[in-house]
Amino acid sequence: MRLPKQIYIYFFSYFFTAGLSFFTVSLLTHHLTTNDYGIINLYSSFITLLMPFITGGVMYPISIEYYKKAPEDFKLFFSNAQVITIISLLLFTLLAIILQQPLKQFLHVPVLWVCILPYTVWGSMVNESTMLMCRVKNKAWGFAFFSISKNVIEILLTIGLVIGLSWAWQGRLVAAVASLTILCFVSIHLFFRWRLVANTIDWQQVKHIAWISVPFIFERLTIFVLSSSDRYFIDKLASKGTGEVGLYSVGAQIATIITLAILSMNSAYQPHVFKNLAVGNKERVKKSTLMYVGGAGLLVVALFLATPLIFKLFIGNGFADARVYAYYLSGGYFMWAIYNAFLPYLLFHGKNRLILYLSVAGMIVSVSSNFYLVPHYGAYGAALTSIMTYTVMAFLSIFFSWKYFK
């Protein structure tokens, strides 16, 4: 069966914004030092860390309740969910002001950037809420326009501030904050236009939303530990520090091509597995799983072959040493693809507790391995940790789902 038109639009938006992101990386590697790029990634990784706490995990409940509630009831639910995020914004802004000196040293940025960190996270959440509502309302073109517009504005500002005014890493961060602020005004306008803003607050419902959203905070923390925490281990434990974070992050950006492809395959693969398991078509599911793993393997081989050309044509000479990290991390993401190949079997059979155990195991392996390997091997240790972590998660997912696969 052919994919619906909306899926094609989402794919177009996804890969177009990925292309814009890659263009930005290429641009920055020609105009920033490795230390500058390291600071940018330390700051953006901290945003990833704060995101679960400031959003309060409300995004998943919002997406689910849209299909369950009448429009007026959902409007109240949506507004009360936003109350949680605003309270979190105020609380973490206060904490940022109180802890400004240690955070300043930890992130290598002036106090001003520490104080606006919570606002940056909240603004990102508001824009994510708009794209979420576009998806649940089947406004695929609205989603594409909003997503692409944010990236275009951010790139144009980055060119003006980093290249035109030579603001270095601060120019990149100013561009990011300015673009999300512009889109925040658009988002708030759309919330009123879509009749999502209620005039009253139901504090009992606010408490209920906060309670049901707690598990999703831990789910988002897992993403931070597996994908972003290694930057801080490199910065604090490796001998070359922030500059090595910059090199490692560029290598990770190249390897992200694999993750984008895997996420795109998941959009079709997981529904296909669920549908065929539901009707008992086990042989077709097995074949699809093997094809999924084989396709991921071919993607990794293709990226390995293309990486030298990518660095030659698009990446600045000062970041040439990042190529080795692209190889390591691409190998790690292949193991992540195997994990994703078998995860739908556990999802279909409702093995949520096993999935939680997999996440916890991944976090334990990641943190403990980084503690040991990074002081001895620097960023190479972080790259090896990535391979080890995803390998453990892949084998555990195979072990837990093997009886369903057979």
What pLDDT digit, counting tens, does each position of 329-356 carry?
999 999 999 998 988 888 777 776 787 7
Q: What is the pLDDT of residue 2?
A: 45
Tell me, yes or no, whether 358 and 237 share the same domain.
yes
Q: What is the DSSP string of 211-273?
A: HHHHHHHHHHHHHHHHHTTHHHHHHHHSTTTHHHHHHHHHHHHHHHHHHHHHHHHHHHHHHHH
Among 181, 214, 247, where does a domain finish?
Answer: 214
CA angle in degrees (0–180, nearest 5) for 294-298-300? 115
Tell me, yes or no, whether 190 and 133 share the same domain.
yes
Tell me, yes or no, whether 248 and 141 share the same domain.
no
Which ranges in 137-241 belong to alpha helices (H)?
A: 140-158, 168-193, 203-227, 230-237
The b-or-e profile of 202-238 (16+ CB within 10 A means b, else e) is eeebbeebbeebeebeeebbbebbbbbbbbbbbbebb
Structure token digits, residue 18: 């990925």
Full domain range(s) for residue 164: 5-214
Q: At which residue do the structure tokens 């279909």 appear?
A: 348
CB contact at 8 A, 330 and 256 = no
Q: Decide if 194 is inside a domain.
A: yes
| C-alpha–C-alpha distance, residues 385 and 389, integer Å | 6
Tell me, yes or no, whether 196 and 64 share the same domain.
yes
Q: Decide if 225 is inside a domain.
A: no
Q: What is the pLDDT of residue 284?
A: 83
pTM: 0.85
Tell me, yes or no, whether 192 and 260 share the same domain.
no
Q: Decide if 223 is inside a domain.
A: no
Tell me, yes or no, whether 187 and 325 share the same domain.
no
Tell me, yes or no, whether 283 and 198 share the same domain.
no
Q: Decide if 64 is inside a domain.
A: yes
CA 271 to chain centre: 21
Domain total for the chain? 2
Tell me, yes or no, whether 111 and 64 share the same domain.
yes
Structure token digits, residue 245: 């974070």
Tell me, yes or no, whether 239 and 381 share the same domain.
yes
Residues of the chain with pLDDT under 50: 1-3
Tell me, yes or no, whether 42 and 188 share the same domain.
yes
Q: What is the pLDDT of residue 7?
A: 60
Residues in contact with 204: Cβ distance below 8 Å, sequence separation at least 6, in sequence order: none
Q: Decide if 199 is inside a domain.
A: yes
Q: What is the pLDDT of residue 96?
A: 96
Q: What is the pLDDT of residue 3?
A: 43
Longest dimension (CA), the chain: 62
Among 214, 248, 277, where does a domain finish?
Answer: 214
Tell me, yes or no, whether 117 and 248 share the same domain.
no
Q: Decide if 197 is inside a domain.
A: yes
Structure token digits, residue 303: 């990226």
Q: Decide if 220 is inside a domain.
A: no
Q: Decide if 226 is inside a domain.
A: no
How many alpha carbons lie under 13 Å from residue 270 in its C-beta half-sphere?
Answer: 14
Tell me, yes or no, whether 320 and 289 share the same domain.
yes
Among 214, 249, 264, where does a domain finish?
Answer: 214
